[in-house]
Amino acid sequence: MPGKDAARSKRLQAELWAPRINGAEGYKARVIVLVDMARARLPESDPVWEALDRQLGRYLKEALGER
């Protein structure tokens, strides 16, 4: 988009999300905020979702025991 300042846009996004990220108490709440942030910014087709699914699935299988 002509005239759009990408650096300013990123700074504004960081300012928008910073209070929620910093205000999250504990790792679980922080992860939830970070996933919400990613959902707001990344399309469904982004490869990060497949990687996150694979890594989290592997971790949960190990943590909960193969069921």
| Domain encompassing residue 44 | 6-64
Residue 32 · residue 24 · CB < 8 Å? yes
Residue 27 lies in a domain: yes
The domain tally of the chain equals: 1
Residue 51 lies in a domain: yes
Q: Please compute the mean of the pLDDT values over residues 1-28 and round it to a whole number.
A: 86
pLDDT tens-digit map of 17-66: 899 989 999 999 999 999 998 998 899 999 999 999 999 999 999 999 87
Residue 12 lies in a domain: yes
pLDDT at 6: 85
Specify burial of residue 15 (Cβ count, 10 A radius: 0-12, 13-18, 19+).
exposed
Residue 1 lies in a domain: no
